[in-house]
Amino acid sequence: MSMTLSTFFHPKTVAVIGASINTKKPGNIILRNLLQSSKIEKVIPVNPFEQSIEQIACIPSVLASYQPIDVAIVAVPADQVNDRVKECITAHILFVIVITSGFSELGTESGNILEKNLKEQMSQSSTRLLGPNTLGYYVSTPTIDATFLDKSVFHRPKKGPIAFLSQSGSLAVDFMEELSSRSVGLSAFVGLGNKTDLSEEEFINYFTCDDATKVVSLYLEGFSHGERFFSLCKEASKQKPVVLLKGGKSKKGSKAVGLHTGKIAGDYEVIGDVLSQAGVVEAEDETALIDYSIAFALSKKPSGGKLAIVTNGGGNGIVAVDLIEQRWETVLSVGHFSNDLLEELTTVLPDFISPGNPIDLTPQATNHDYVTAVKQIASSNQVDVILVGITSTVSVSAKIAKHLAFIQNKYDCSILVYLKGKTIWDRLHQSLSDHGIACFPNVRRAVNSAGTLVKWSQKESCQVNMGVH
């Protein structure tokens, strides 16, 4: 299946069934997005009532195409979907994407019947279907934009190492917009929708073998085939992190899942244990899903959990120590530096700074002070992770990013940064991310990301040398 999905992610010819002249309709937005994609050789609008759309000649049906079609995207009303999919099967189209809603997620008899008929069609053919009720999919390089998200209101992330699978369209938009705003890249996104045919399993299998993907992140409300899913995750996590936000953990949340995608969420008490055994990193909410994905995408794999804290605000350093003791005591340790290291720090840092762990550089700290302290600590081989905290100051500039990146690349040490205050965040976060340094807007999120990074790295089943990007 992984080899077959190569055509899905890199199609030469794509048809849009239900292409529209109305620029606000999905059938037009998808068509325009595809026309701007970099490596699609031909985009075919399918509409029996129009001669051309977006200056491209229309055909009345995929059955009228004179050339093979790799992917067809269906954007017609729900009661027409089964007929259009039948035509795709007859035309031997490899993949069909149904963005239309109005199926089992409605919880109605008519919706269930439509999806049942769709599933029966797929079971009797070699054509594979994504959806229904899906946002579509997106590939960063070469660009394949098969979503119905208008570019005027949604910023696509740049090319990067994170693949994202989601059963929720709105959560997917939030995830990708956050990646974009934090200057972190995406390799691909797939909206799973109702998972009538293609599910998370095929895509996890594909991304496990995909060199462009270093982290597989997921939002799922239910598992299509639990045992198969856990087996695939166990194999994937030996090569790269698999980060999951599971929707429907609570009883009420589980009921809400049925109204969203028409799927049963499952008993979370059992699922949680199995996920842990499979090496899956569970995120507690959508913010953690993004933070952990970024930490894995940008950070080196730490050799252990010995952590140093370097900050220009002593209070934030103390808060970090408290957070570690409360949640990560068995994973992270903030130990004392050796006498030799303390002496070296005393020698190279200004007289008003008292070295220790945490080390408070004071609000006067400059780029040079931070870089000097971090380099001295990293080169000592006494810690595995350095947590750098920068509270709003005019003394630290974006140039610090390239120096921290150099240190992380040179020494056996992971560096994570928290930036306290909107002004300092706006000034530094893009440069840090662009240089491969994971950064976070507060202490708690940075500490939790560091703990998650170390905990996953320490698992015996995950012997992977994570690079810096």
Co-location of 309 and 443 in the same domain: yes
CATH code: domain of residue 95: 3.40.50.720
Examine the fold and report which residue of 298, 314, 343 is the final residue of a domain before the chain moves on.
Answer: 298
CA atoms of 195 and 207, how far apart (whole Å): 18
pLDDT value, residue 334: 98
Co-location of 226 and 291 in the same domain: yes
Co-location of 257 and 329 in the same domain: no
CA atoms of 31 and 430, how far apart (whole Å): 32
Residue 264 has pLDDT above 90, yes or no: no
Residues 6+ apart with CB under 8 A from 354: 360
pLDDT value, residue 254: 52
pLDDT value, residue 270: 75
CA atoms of 319 and 357, how far apart (whole Å): 13
Examine the fold and report which residue of 267, 298, 329 is the final residue of a domain before the chain moves on.
Answer: 298
Residues 6+ apart with CB under 8 A from 65: 15, 44, 59, 91
463 belongs to a structural domain: no
Q: Could you tell me the two tokens for 353?
A: 């700074």
DSSP-derived secondary structure letter, 72:
E
Give the pLDDT mean for 306-315. Answer: 97
Mean pLDDT of the chain: 93
Co-location of 60 and 188 in the same domain: no
CATH code: domain of residue 261: 3.40.50.261
Helix (H) or strand (E) holding 442, with range, is none
Please report which confidence band the pLDDT of residue 260 belongs to, taking 50, 70 and 90 as the band edges. very low
User: Across-strand partners of 283?
Assistant: none
pLDDT value, residue 272: 83
Give the residue from 350, 259, 357, 376 showing the smallest Cα distance to 309: 357
Co-location of 267 and 184 in the same domain: yes
147 belongs to a structural domain: no
At 420-437, the pLDDT tens digits run: 999 999 999 999 999 999
Please report which confidence band the pLDDT of residue 255 belongs to, taking 50, 70 and 90 as the band edges. low
Examine the fold and report which residue of 269, 298, 327 is the final residue of a domain before the chain moves on.
Answer: 298
Co-location of 233 and 266 in the same domain: yes
At 362-381, the pLDDT tens digits run: 999 999 999 999 999 999 99
Co-location of 93 and 216 in the same domain: no
Give the residue from 53, 50, 43, 111 showing the smallest Cα distance to 77: 111
- Range(s) of the domain holding residue 175: 155-298
pLDDT value, residue 290: 99
Residues 6+ apart with CB under 8 A from 111: 78, 102, 103, 104, 105, 262
CA atoms of 192 and 130, how far apart (whole Å): 7
Cβ atoms of 206 and 240 closer than 8 Å: no
Please report which confidence band the pLDDT of residue 250 belongs to, taking 50, 70 and 90 as the band edges. low
Helix (H) or strand (E) holding 389, with range, is strand 385-391
Co-location of 124 and 27 in the same domain: yes
How many domains does the chain contain in total?
A: 3
Cβ atoms of 340 and 352 closer than 8 Å: no
CA atoms of 175 and 11, how far apart (whole Å): 25
Give me the half-sphere count of Cα atoms (radius 13 Å) on the Cβ side of residue 277: 9
Give whole-number Cα distances, 34 to 8, 37, 144, in Å. 14, 5, 7
Co-location of 205 and 307 in the same domain: no
468 belongs to a structural domain: no
**More confident position, 396 or 142:** 396
Cβ atoms of 217 and 163 closer than 8 Å: yes
146 belongs to a structural domain: no
Give the residue from 462, 467, 468, 412 showing the smallest Cα distance to 281: 462
218 belongs to a structural domain: yes
381 belongs to a structural domain: yes
Co-location of 115 and 128 in the same domain: yes
466 belongs to a structural domain: no
Co-location of 165 and 245 in the same domain: yes
CA-based torsion, 151, 188, 453, 358: positive or negative: negative
CA atoms of 373 and 281, how far apart (whole Å): 32
145 belongs to a structural domain: no
Co-location of 223 and 346 in the same domain: no
pLDDT-wise least confident of 116-120, 282-286, 415-419, 460-464: 460-464
At 27-51, the pLDDT tens digits run: 999 999 999 887 799 999 999 999 9
